[in-house]
Amino acid sequence: QVQLVESGGGVVQAGGSLRLSCEASPQTFSTLAMGWFRQAPGKEREFVAAMNLIAGSTYYADFVEGRFTISRDNAKNILYLQMDSLQPEDTGVYYCAAGGVVTIAAQVKSWGQGTQVTVSS
């Protein structure tokens, strides 16, 4: 059974915005942390953003530079990634993640199927 299901990906022009959603099971949503990774063809999966669900603290990769915001809706069991000022280098498959630590890919316990984000000039 798939525990994390991403949606909201698509094609946007540079400078545009997308809001990714990750629907989680109540059990998954009650884990310590959830976050987002991305992967471009031929490249390693890289950390994007994470939230400690206990403390509410957030963490972002250096390349985010204030452009993305991670948030949650506890009532709906949804994790969001608001992506603004998108650039072509942001293109890739974005994956929702859950576990005790979700800033390091090797320590992620659960992954979504991914949603494609394409940013064109």
User: What pLDDT sits at residue 3?
Assistant: 83
Output the pLDDT for position 30: 78
SS3 3: coil
Give the span between the Cα atoms of 57 and 61, in whole angstroms.
Answer: 14
**Per-residue DSSP letters for 17-71?**
-EEEEEEE-HHHHTSSEEEEEEE-TTS--EEEEEEETTT--EEE-GGGTTSEEEE
The pLDDT of residue 31: 79
pLDDT average per 10 residues of sequence, the chain (121 residues): 86 98 88 94 96 93 96 93 98 96 92 97 92
Contact 7, 78 (CB under 8 A): no
Which is it for strands 115-120 and 10-13: parallel, antiparallel or unpaired?
A: parallel
